Amino acid sequence: MTANRALELLWRDDRRPARGPQRGLTVDRVVRAAIEVAEADGLAALSMRRVAQHLGVGTASLYTYVPGKTELEALMLDVIGADDPLPHERPGDWRAKLEAWARADWAEFRAHPWVLQLVNKSPAPGPNLLRWIDSALRVFDGTGLSEAEKMAAVESVDAYVRGLARQHLDQAEPDPEQDRLLAELVDFTRYPSLLRVLRAGVRPWSGDQFEFGLQRLLDGIAALIDNRSAPPEGHQ
Amino acid sequence: MTANRALELLWRDDRRPARGPQRGLTVDRVVRAAIEVAEADGLAALSMRRVAQHLGVGTASLYTYVPGKTELEALMLDVIGADDPLPHERPGDWRAKLEAWARADWAEFRAHPWVLQLVNKSPAPGPNLLRWIDSALRVFDGTGLSEAEKMAAVESVDAYVRGLARQHLDQAEPDPEQDRLLAELVDFTRYPSLLRVLRAGVRPWSGDQFEFGLQRLLDGIAALIDNRSAPPEGHQ
DNA sequence: GAGTAGATCGAACGCTGTTCGGAGTTTGTT
DNA sequence: AACAAACTCCGAACAGCGTTCGATCTACTC
């Protein structure tokens, strides 16, 4: 079962074998090399051959450190976020903490697109993921939310940030030639509401609207929390 | 430029050539065949060879209908959502319309995972996308939101639905054996908040929490709209 | 009828992740 | 000291991928 081997790797069960020649590398060096390739030339350029080449090693040798590419990707993901500050360590109340984390995550995805493309591909949870979930849940301590609501709130903000980052990522940069062709092919008067938005200078999926949705979502969570902590008053 | 050809295809600029033998297929049949393959065996099984085989045709022939796989995927995406009801056509006020659309989209992504995996990969906007954006924007007519805010609201809900659907999709189904191994490898007392949530019977990223985040986000948007439409009263 | 643009598609190119088997190295046991 | 087991390393190969090339055939224009 490949998922099990992934688990063991993620949780660093590296009992080294007793016999055989000494290893020339470590799992960690392989993972770091993979990250360097992805950072330099993008996720599309990440291949076992490239990673091996970067390490000055035969391709097949990688398979003594890592069972396959999927597991390597899972390790990359768990390593990359290890140094980020945790949500509960940030200053302020729950809202300030979550806000700061969301902005940092958003910035991270813009800076390292490959992380976003890899995210959610992991076959098993790693230490960093669990650490992060625990921290994010802790942010809601004392808010009066139920356990299910805490988890839901965390998932919601996470889903929003990732979803918007993905839309932004896959959005091609504006190309005048393509815009010209589009204007030529499409009768935009058929889309009056869209036309009004475009005329107002708004660029859909540009990422400019990140704060708007974040604030609305946090407003909604705040309203729920206020309702919970407010004493049952007169009406109703 | 491949994106331009994609645009022309999406907007059906099919000026057929004057000379040469008659074509055995149409772009539409190729796209439909591709969708059938993805529907049957998943996106991973979608290859030009598979599509050609499904049509009883040589692989290279596909390239007379479609410039490449990327463009074929773009066409698949534009075709698949063509029959869905548009947001502004649904009953009720803006909130009811958006809610109904979000639920339908969520259900669609669960039923046809390949759509989610392909989404945002399109090199150019198709008719269906523009039609949908226009309709979604129309939902906010008369709410007092600015054009930028309307677009932001649409993007937010869209990002949330897609983000959560992706998390749910890539979540492996629970495996007792793997859970056992995880429990063996991991000291869960290091993650007390997570432990409390799990003990409460909550399954993270199960998708059960879809409604929670949707309602919070819509609450936040509603609060903004109420503020806008409320007459400037005494205090403030 | 000649010329030509286009349709079809087998074969090949360069790429991918992965497996196999042989050669070399270290260790534990006898 | 000798041997066997266990392990590392890795060139070569396998099956699959998207795409291109070139030959062959077709149907239209002049």
> CA of B209: which chain A residue's CA is closest?
A152
DSSP character at residue A21: S
Q: Are residues B11 and B37 in the same domain?
A: yes
B125 and B213 in a single domain? The answer is yes
Rounded-to-integer distance, Cα B34 and Cα B56, Å: 13
CB A33 within 8 A of CB A23: no
The span from the CA of A51 to the CA of A38, in Å, is 9
pLDDT, tens digit, 9 for 90 and up, residues A95-115 = 999 999 999 999 999 999 999
Q: Are B68 and B155 in a shared domain?
A: no
C-beta atoms of B212 and A162 within 8 A: no
d(C-alpha A37, C-alpha B185), whole Å:
30
Per-residue model confidence as pLDDT tens digits over B76-106: 999 998 888 999 999 999 999 999 999 999 9
User: Which residue's alpha carbon is at the shortest distance from the C1' of D26?
Assistant: B21
| B117 pLDDT above the threshold of 60 | yes
For residues A90-96, average pLDDT: 97
| Nearest Cβ partner for B220 among A158, A194, A217 | A217
- What is the rounded average pLDDT for all residues in chain B? 90
Instruction: Determine whether the interchain pair B191/A131 forms a contact, defined as Cβ–Cβ distance below 8 Å.
Output: yes
Within a domain: A92: yes
In terms of residue numbers, what domain contains B111?
87-171+206-229
Q: List the structure tokens of B32.
A: 């439909």
Instruction: Tell how far CA B114 is from the center of its chain.
Output: 9
pLDDT reported for residue A236: 44
**A63 belongs to a structural domain:** yes
A125 and A218 share one domain: yes
Q: What is the CATH number of the domain that holds B54?
A: 1.10.10.60
Residues A32, A76, single domain; the answer is yes
Question: What single DSSP character describes residue A43?
Answer: G
* Alpha carbon distance A176, A78 (integer Å): 39
Name the domain boundary from B32, B63, B80.
B80
pLDDT band at A21 (very low <50, low <70, confident <90, very high): confident
Angle between helices B69-80 and B27-41 (to 10 degrees): 80
Q: Is the pLDDT of residue A223 over 50?
A: yes
Residues 6+ away with beta carbon under 8 Å from B129? B78, B122
Q: Tell me: pLDDT of B149 over 90.
A: yes
Q: In this structure, what DSSP letter does residue A67 have? A: S
pLDDT for res B236: 43
B200, pLDDT greater than 70: yes
Read off the pLDDT of residues A30-83 as tens digits, 9 standing for 90 and up.
999 999 999 999 999 999 999 999 999 999 999 999 999 999 999 999 999 888
Q: CB of B134 within 8 A of CB of A194?
A: yes
Q: Is residue A154 domain-shared with residue A118, that is, in the same domain?
A: yes
Q: Is residue B182 part of a domain?
A: no
Q: Residues B32-42: what's their mean pLDDT?
A: 97
Measured CA to C1', what is the nucleotide nearest A70? C17
CA B129, B82, B42, B37 dihedral sign is negative
What is the domain count for chain B?
2
A53 in a structural domain: yes
Same domain, A74 and A98: no
Give residue A9's pLDDT band: very low, low, confident or very high (50, 70, 90). confident
* Separation CA B95–CA B143 (nearest Å): 11
Question: Measuring CA to CA, how many Å separate B150 from each of A35, A198, B75, B144, B223?
Answer: 39, 12, 27, 9, 14
Q: In this structure, is the CB of residue A47 within 7 Å of any atom belonging to strand C?
A: yes
Query: With an 8 Å Cβ cutoff, are A217 and B215 in contact?
Result: no
**Each residue of A126-173: pLDDT tens digit?**
999 999 999 999 999 999 999 999 999 999 999 999 999 999 988 777
- Assess whether A59 and A96 both reside in one domain: no
Q: Which residues of A touch B130 (CB under 8 A)?
A: 186, 191, 194
Chain B partners within 8 Å of A133 (Cβ): 191, 194, 204
Grade residue A1 by pLDDT with cuts at 50, 70 and 90: very low
Question: What are the CA-CA distances from residue B214 to residues B68, B153, B220 (Å)?
Answer: 37, 12, 10
Residues B163, B219 within the same domain = yes
From the CA of A53 to the C1' of D27: give the distance in Å.
53
B180 pLDDT more than 70: yes
* One domain for residues B151 and B213: yes
Residues of chain A with Cβ-Cβ distance to B220 below 8 Å are: 215-220, 223
Task: Give the model's pLDDT for residue B100.
Answer: 97
Q: Which of A201, A126, A214 shows the shortest CA–CA distance to A162?
A: A214
Q: Give chain B's end-to-end CA distance (angstroms, integer).
A: 56
Quick one: pLDDT at residue B170?
Answer: 80
Footprint of strand D on the protein (CB under 7 A): A 17-25, 57-61, 63-65; B 18-22, 45-50, 59-60, 63, 68-70
Closest residue to B178, CB basis, from A3, A122, A218: A3
**Nearest residue: Cα versus C1' of D21:** B60
Residue A38 lies in a domain: yes
Residues B158 and B224 in one domain: yes
**Per mean pLDDT, which range of A183-187, B19-23, B198-202 is the poorest?**
B19-23
The nt closest to B59 (CA vs C1′) is C9
d(C-alpha A51, C-alpha A59), whole Å: 8
- Res. B234: pLDDT tops 70: no
Q: B3 contacts in A (CB within 8 Å)? A: 172, 175, 178
pLDDT (tens digit per residue) in A177-191: 888 888 888 999 999
Residue at the smallest CA–C1' distance to nucleotide C20: A60
A1 half-sphere exposure, CB direction, 13 A CA radius:
11
For residue B123, being part of any structural domain is answered with yes
Any domain includes B113? yes
Number of A/B CB contacts below 8 angstroms equals 240
* CA A11 from centroid of its chain's CA atoms: 20
Q: Tell me whether residue B177 is in a domain.
A: no
Q: With 50 as the cut, is the pLDDT of residue B208 above it?
A: yes
Q: Report H helices in chain B.
A: 2-10, 27-41, 48-55, 69-80, 94-111, 113-118, 127-138, 147-169, 176-185, 192-199, 210-229
Tell me, what CATH number does A131's domain have?
1.10.357.10
Assess whether A143 and A217 both reside in one domain. Answer: yes
pLDDT at B231 over 70: no
